[in-house]
Amino acid sequence: MGYWYRCARRRLPERGKVTIAACIIAHNEEADLPATLSALAWVDELVVVDCESSDRTAEIAGKHTRKVFKRPNLSNLNVNKNYSFRQATSDWVLCLDADEIVSEALAREIRARAVPGSSEDGFFLKRKNSWFGRTLMHGGHFPDRQLRLFQRERGKFPERNVHERLQVQGKVGTLEEPLDHYPYRSVSEYVRKMQFYTSFEAERRVARGERFSAGGFLLELAGAKVRLLRRYLFKGGFLDGWQGFAAAYLDFLGRMVVQFKMRDLEGEKR
């Protein structure tokens, strides 16, 4: 924390009248959370929502902020993200995941753009994703534009599914400095997260009336194959080495797992 704190205090511009809150939800993130929080010494307010962690997540968060809240670990993560926004009192909200790190350059740009009288109500951030130790710059992985910075009263998630986009009322711009994202440091971490996301997606589809069928499976398979080829070959995923192939193939695999889990859910109801 010391290094980032000194950098933030020494180099960032004066805050003026605008305040910025960083809002994070976390579940068993003791490995990633320290670096993420240490890089946020420059914000005016830090909100962390601990979602039933069984590790030291809450303890680590408590060393950086008094605003640590306990919530159930809901399948739809965006419900708790909206909750975190409501706990903030600052003018602007920066929505982050526990495995994302704001560089000093990005922090400076945020301070420069989130100013009194800004013509924008929100900003997309260009996210850089690191898979298994390598930052993916091809295959459609960069720039991974994410709407993460917004005037507090102007943005929220619809709370319909886990992969939905944040919605902001008003004009939205784009920042140039990237947001560093470290979602999959190991294959085992990928498998753990894939288990969560595929279960949620399968449950969501079944709940809205979709059913597993041979025809539906073949359509999903064809679409997943096209997506794999497009990302790996036509968008240059092969330029990112074996990690580029892993990203394309595991995305394909995840879509197939959703289909099989839908079939399992239907079997449980019979």
Domain co-membership, 15 together with 133: yes
Measured CA to CA in angstroms, residue 116 lies from 20, 37, 89, 97 at distances of 12, 26, 16, 26
Tell me which of 184, 202, 232 is where a domain ends: 184
Domain identity same for 206 and 75: no
* In contact, 64 and 4? CB cutoff 8 Å: no
Q: How far is CA 197 from CA 5, 212, 223, 255, in A?
A: 35, 18, 19, 10
Q: Total structural domains in the chain?
A: 2
Looking at the chain, the whole-number percentage of residues with pLDDT higher than 70 is: 93
pLDDT value at residue 270: 63
Q: Are residues 45 and 155 in the same domain?
A: yes
Whether the predicted pLDDT of 209 surpasses 80:
yes
- Average pLDDT of the segment spanning 115-137: 96
> Where does a domain end: 184, 204, 239?
184
- Lowest-pLDDT range of 73-77, 102-106, 179-183: 73-77
Looking at the structure, do residues 178 and 154 belong to the same domain, yes or no?
yes
Task: State whether 164 and 65 are in the same domain.
Answer: yes
Domain interval for residue 154? 2-184
Angle at 60 between CA 55 and CA 66, to 5 degrees: 125
58 and 144 inside one domain: yes
Residue 13 DSSP class: P
- Residue 54's φ and ψ, nearest 5 degrees, are -105, 5
Residue written as tokens 């079944």?
206
The reported pLDDT for the residue numbered 16 is 57
pLDDT higher than threshold 80 for residue 15? no
Determine the length of the chain.
270
Same domain, 221 and 91: no
Condensed to tens digits (0 to 9), the pLDDT of residues 83-102 reads 999 999 999 999 999 999 99
CA distance 23 to 11: 23
Average pLDDT of the segment spanning 196-221: 92
**Tokens matching residue 61:** 């968060």
pLDDT digits (tens, 9 = 90+) for 142-174: 999 999 999 999 999 999 877 789 999 999 999
Burial label for 261, CB within 10 Å (0-12, 13-18, 19+), is: buried
Q: Give the DSSP H/E element, type plus range, for residue 45.
A: strand 45-51
Reading the block at residue 134, the tokens are: 């390598």
Q: Round the average pLDDT of the chain to a whole number and report it.
A: 92
Shared-domain flag, residues 233 and 149: no
CA distance 42 to 9: 7
Last-in-domain residue among 161, 184, 207: 184
pTM of model > 0.85 = yes
The answer to whether residues 126 and 151 belong to one domain is yes
| 8-state DSSP, 155 | E
Question: Does 4 have pLDDT greater than 50?
Answer: no
**Measured in whole angstroms, how far is the alpha carbon of residue 134 from the centre of its chain?**
18
Indicate if 134 and 241 belong to the same structural domain: no
Same domain membership, residue 223 and residue 168: no
Are 16 and 118 members of one domain?
yes
In sequence order, the 6+-apart residues with CB closer than 8 A to the CB of 219 are none
- H helix runs in the chain, sequence order: 2-11, 33-38, 57-62, 77-87, 104-113, 187-207, 214-229, 241-269
DSSP state of 17: T
For residue 136, the domain's CATH number is 3.90.550.10
**Tokens standing for residue 111:** 């301070």
pLDDT of residue 13: 44
Q: Is the pLDDT of residue 223 over 70?
A: yes
d(CA 172, CA 148): 11
- pLDDT band for 203, please (50, 70, 90 cuts): very high
Specify the pLDDT at position 7.
Answer: 44
